[in-house]
């Protein structure tokens, strides 16, 4: 008996999932109000547009258009940098 998961659109979905996977990034630095306090979080930027960022310290999640936009918002409260985690 053939496994239905291996027929139809499922193999195509696997290809799309791999090809269109989001880029992973981290934003890190310190808070302006207290330079000894670390600021750190991770995010995903999607090729079709949009980014999501999760802050470690308070567990908040933020949505934006790009990782660069997340960096700009976080730079209001911290001296921060952006690094790509997946090359």
Give the pLDDT band of residue 26 (cuts 50, 70, 90). Answer: very high
CA distances for 46 relative to 2, 37, 53, 77, 78, angstroms: 34, 30, 12, 25, 24
CB 67 within 8 A of CB 25: yes
> Could you tell me the pTM of the whole model?
0.84
pLDDT tens digits for range 44-73:
999 999 999 999 999 999 999 999 999 999
Please state, rounded to an integer, the average pLDDT across all residues of the chain: 92
Give the pLDDT band of residue 1 (cuts 50, 70, 90). Answer: very low
DSSP string, 18-54: HHTPPEEEEEEEEESS-TTSEEEEEEEE-TTS-EEEE
Q: Which tokens is 49 given?
A: 């547009």
How much is the pLDDT for 3? 59
């Amino acid at each position: 008996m053939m496994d239905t998961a291996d027929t139809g659109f499922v193999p195509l979905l696997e290809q799309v999932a791999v090809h269109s996977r989001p880029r992973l990034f981290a934003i890190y630095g310190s808070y302006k109000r207290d330079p000894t306090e670390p600021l750190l979080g991770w995010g995903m930027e999607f090729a079709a547009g949009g980014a999501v960022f999760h802050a470690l310290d308070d567990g908040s999640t933020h949505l934006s258009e790009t990782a660069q936009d997340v960096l700009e918002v976080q730079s209001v409260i911290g001296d921060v940098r952006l690094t790509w985690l997946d090359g």
